[in-house]
A and B are shown apart, each in its own frame.
Chain A
Amino acid sequence: MLNYYLTIVLAPLAAAVIAGLFGRQIGRAGSHWLTILAVGTSCALSVLVLRAMFWDGAVSENISLYTWAATDGLHMEVGFLVDRLTALMMVVVTFVSLMVHVYTIGYMHDDPGYQRFFSYISLFTFAMLMLVMSNNFLQLFFGWEAVGLVSYLLIGFWFKRESAILANLKAFLVNRVGDFGFILGIAGVVMFTGSLDYATVFSSADNVAVQTIEVLPGSAWNAMTVICILLFIGAMGKSAQAPLHVWLPDSMEGPTPISALIHAATMVTAGIFMVARMSPLFELSETALAVVVTIGAITAFFMGLLGIVQNDIKRVVAYSTLSQLGYMTVALGASAYSAAIFHLMTHAFFKALLFLAAGSVIIAMHHEQDIRKMGGLRKYMPITYWTALVGSLALIGFPGSSGFFSKDLLIEAVRESHWQGQGAVYWIAYLSVLLGVFVTALYSFRMFFLVFHGNERMDADTKSHLHETPWVVTGPLILLAIPSALIGWFTAGPVLFEGYFDDAIVVAPAHDVLAHIGSHVWHGSLALVQHIYVSPAFWLAASGTFVAWFLYLRRPDIPATIEAKMSGLHQLLVNKYYFDDLYIKGFAFCGRSFGRFLWLKGDELIIDGILVNGTANTVGKLAGVMRQLQTGYLYTYAFAMIIGLTALLSWLIWFR
């Protein structure tokens, strides 16, 4: 299988390098065919790997490729761990990537940076595969930062736009704040286990959990708790969890295909994947899990609320992504790792679909993104309309759709996670994910109705040019709509309850809510759909959709009234809880002022002005004074000699 793995990883890399360096020579068509061929190969082989795992019962493989460096007893290696978790991620990543590659042909059709774009997205695919296939923390960090690099390059793809190059700088720096925690977490892992290799680290996890580390003098904190929280800070950056979420909405400055690929389906889920991969560690620290649950719950609910007031079609979907990532994080914290990964998978399909559908709308609207200027697009763009409907229904968890299975069971898992106790953390988590369903349905269908139904609010010129997008755009929409609609039916059982993940995910028996649900609640996909009326989530989603219909189609005058009545709340939401102000006017401004202070006062004034040049000036002045003594007259020197001699003699007489 090693040849498969190498091809899966290296084909996109080779294509990226060739398209990047020789894009001019091989031309536009050459670039897209080359990269599509490479990613297509990766995708096909990934499917074969998954099939071998799932149907043929192939065992997981842990292969070391080469020694990156070895010193001081620490072996830093590059290698692959391909187990069932990895195989699933590989298929998701390469499939969505392939769809996005094809879609890009249509979306970036007129862009002068065509080859560069294909090079970047292929490079991203390589980096993401390195991340998920890694068997050690070093390579994980490599993939982690490499996807961040490509994200930086792609958000700033249109580098003439001031907003784009501000957004990519912001994205990179906020991610670096997360990585700051992440690298400390990795350092902690090395300190307590002496290894970077997953297998070795996991096998000595029990030993770590009984040790303590003194971070503050006199405190003895559990080493595993410290390590897990530090690692999770990394996940908060990459998976945009509050309060490190601020970069994701701004990342929408990048071209839409990469919003779908990187900022919805794959890269942002790297944090979720990482925590699931580290389940043997997180399971040993209930404190860390409580932190994970709380952060996830806050993100799931409060970021969803922001989606309601956004008017940019991509930003609505972006806030929806934040909220859904929060759902996954809650599931991780509730020890329902499989549920998190399952939601990650379904979300990858339907959220990529929604982004690409949004992109299709944007193409048709000639790069107008304001949903207040759309409406009634249903009759002009039937394929986009129907696929977007599938995506939206999956997002709100319409019974039978993929999102229904993943979200409904995720909420069920949170509800059953009694091991967290019935304290505040439990209720925050449960109520957030439950009420979040209503919010999700509200913002999703607000957008859907405003875009596709109701009055046609665009100008006449745009309207005259409205038509369905070409097949390279609609093709991927259809191909993504199929799994978005159907994949839950036959995967929910195996993935969540029938031990698909095997030993890839470790759950302590006391925490294993999914096992509990599996034995008490789960009676198959069909039964779940049939008993839908007992699920509060279903009624919340239905009412959210109804409210959206009522407010934005039936009585479009009401939203303005609500805005006026609750202007304080509205302002809070429009200003995104003032996080951006805090970071830009607060941290960034203070950082720059501090830097200027240290430079002008510390370096220029104290060190250079007083110490260095001050010393030089003093020496100069002193020399000037001394020079006065060198008069050149004999009697001055004789006089000085006599004084000196007298002083010396007196000293000898009195002190010896």
Chain B
Amino acid sequence: MNLFAQHLLSLLIWLPILGGLMLIVIGDDGNARSARAGMMRFSALLVTVLTFVFSTALFAGFDNVEPGMQFIERQSWIGAINAYYYLGVDGISTPLILLTTFITPLVVIAGWDSIKPRPAQYFAAFLILEGLMIGVFSALDGLLFYVFWEAMLVPMFLIIGVWGGERRVYATIKFFLYTFLGSVLMLVAFIYLFGKTGGFDLLGFMNVPLSLPAQKLIFLAFLAAFAVKVPMWPVHTWLPDAHVEAPTGGSVILAAIMLKMGGYGFVRLSLPIVPDGSEYFANFVIALSLIAVVYIGFVALMQKDMKKLIAYSSIAHMGFVTLGFFLFWSIGSGTGAALGISGGMVQMVSHGLISGAMFLCVGVLYDRVHSRQIADYGGVANTMPTFAAFMVLFSMANAGLPGTSGFVGEFMVIIASFKANFWFAFLAATTLILGAAYTLWMVKRVLYGEVANDNVAKLQDLNIREFTVLAVLAISVLLLGLWPAPLVEMMNMSIETLLAQIAQSKL
């Protein structure tokens, strides 16, 4: 292990954060067209691309057969309470880190000249956010995890609050209160566990025996934090509001990565730390997940605002994630439990790409027409054929078409849930119909038909910048759909380790 590999995670966390701070310090001159603003954009792009390039070293150096953590860094941080600056990744966190470093440059490119006020600060917020998100995915110390987790809210709060739409204040307050309320309970749980173990080591938390009542309470505290983030029904209503008001880049990061924090929390914390508590509430979580798939599917059908529709579709798709994670206890022995967790993980990565792409597509239209309403469009394919081709592709991926990444996770979770219970699979599989219905109905109303109005008639097809972003996402959606093996193999060993931990009662 050379110095680079030893501090790779720190580099991935702090490079964008420092880059972001630099942008704030230098600042722009308030003119989005000035050379100085251009410099800021290029610096932001440079930093995110560098971060991505460095993160490929994570992919290259990752050991698929290592059951434990890799790229570990451990320094004493707050000695008095035994808190460490403790980082490390496994097959569960690495794909999500790669997703983060992959999506962020695309978001920077997408916001290139559509952000007019304060471009330097806008890009700085994304850079800092990127570092914090990578921090969440790599922290192995509870307190460090919590700090990254909460700090993440600040840039996102600003992104929506400063660069958002008309009702941005309502949306930001709702977003902040919802997520903050849940997270505080997680902190309480950490403090309890600190009392039990004398530190904040997450791996230590996984080994400490806990009584069933304690496990139930801790599970509920975690659930409050993670269910809001995922978001699960019925604590999902902040998401459509936040998405509608967020600028395109904010929506992309929110959908592509921040929602994954919830799913990640379930596998990293809930399942291994309180396996018996998780078992106790497993059917409850499954029920909420299935409600998300069916109920939200119907709600998405009737949305008039494209961003709201995609936001609801996100909730339904994230239902597959939580469903897959909690199937273990209803499956028993043999094939299935690991398949469910793998499926949920793949679904997270895939949803990151697809929902990101969908929000970018809406952003492309919004930049031109300044409307998100489906009714304001119609016949866009006539004037923007290239864009239409991309949007149909991503819509099909959203509807879970095989050959795109959207299929992989859903397929695995449906197979696993059939083994758990026929009706789980039955309800989950309704997404084949509902997902296609709400996505393709939107496609029909937005893209197809005669040119609906003058705004549509005046539309210009994608510029090279938009084309690049969508093409990169399209290729990755197809690649992951046609050959998910590298991703799945990266996770296999870690999921095995996780299952061994879940199977071990901690009473």
Contacts and interface: CB of A to CB of B under 8 A. Distances in A.
Give the interface centre of A138, A184, A608 by most chain B CB atoms within 10 Å.
Answer: A184
Given A166-B444, A176-B436, 14 more contacts: A66-B485, A69-B408, A70-B485, A141-B402, A145-B402, A159-B447, A184-B414, A184-B429, A187-B415, A191-B419, A595-B298, A595-B300, A611-B234, A612-B178
Q: Is the interface of B mostly helix, strand, loop or mixed?
A: helix
26 contacts: A68-B482, A68-B484, A70-B492, A71-B342, A74-B335, A141-B411, A146-B401, A146-B403, A156-B448, A160-B379, A160-B382, A165-B448, A166-B444, A176-B432, A176-B436, A177-B433, A184-B429, A187-B414, A187-B415, A187-B419, A194-B334, A594-B298, A595-B299, A598-B295, A599-B303, A602-B299
A68 B402 contact: no
Interface residues of B, number: 63
B484 A598 contact: no
Interface in B414-446: 414-415, 417-419, 422, 425-426, 429-430, 432-433, 436-437, 440-441, 444
A186 interface: yes
Contact of B396 (A149, A191, A215): A149
B414 A173 contact: no
A179 B432 contact: yes
A486 interface: no
Interface in A190-215: 190-191, 194, 213-215
A603 B239 CA distance: 12
Given A66-B483, A141-B402, A162 B298 contact: no
B253 interface: no
Give the interface centre of B178, B302, B342, B412 by most chain A CB atoms within 10 Å.
Answer: B302
A111 interface: no
A607 interface: yes
A268 to B, nearest CB: 19
A72 interface: yes
A69 B484 contact: yes
Contacts of A145: 401-403, 407
A72 B338 contact: yes
A159 B433 contact: no
B402 A72 contact: no
Contacts of B396: 149
Contacts of A616: 177
B314 to A, nearest CB: 14
Interface in B11-62: none
A522 interface: no
A72 B429 contact: no
Interface string B376-411: 000101100000000010001000011100011001
A71 B338 contact: yes
A333 interface: no
Given A69-B408, A71-B342, A594-B298, A159 B432 contact: no
Contacts of A149: 396, 401
A431 to B, nearest CB: 35
Given A595-B298, A598-B298, A602-B299, A173 B437 contact: yes
A596 interface: yes
B483 A176 contact: no
Interface in B314-344: 334-339, 342
A215 B238 CA distance: 37
Interface residues of A, number: 56
A67 interface: yes
Contacts of B447: 159
Contacts of B303: 599
A592 interface: yes
B402 to A, nearest CB: 4
B209 interface: no
A74 B338 CA distance: 10
A191 B441 CA distance: 34
B237 A603 contact: yes
A180 interface: yes
A592 B302 contact: yes
Contacts of A72: 335-339, 342
A159 B408 CA distance: 30
Nearest to B420: A191
Contacts of B495: 71
Interface in A144-167: 144-146, 149, 152-153, 156, 159-160, 162, 165-166
B450 A160 contact: yes
A612 B449 contact: no
Contacts of B66: none
A173 B418 contact: no
Given A179-B432, A592-B302, A598-B299, A215 B335 contact: no
A214 B492 CA distance: 31
Interface string A295-306: 000000000000
Nearest to A158: B448
Give the interface centre of A72, A142, A165 by most chain B CB atoms within 10 Å.
Answer: A72
A71 B412 CA distance: 10
B489 interface: yes
Given A67-B485, A596-B302, A176 B342 contact: no
B298 A187 contact: no
Nearest to A612: B237
B174 interface: yes
Contact of A70 (B407, B440, B488): B488
A40 interface: no
Contacts of B425: 184, 187
B381 A159 contact: yes
> Closest 9 interchain pairs by CB?
A187-B418, A72-B338, A595-B298, A142-B402, A595-B301, A595-B302, A165-B448, A159-B448, A69-B488
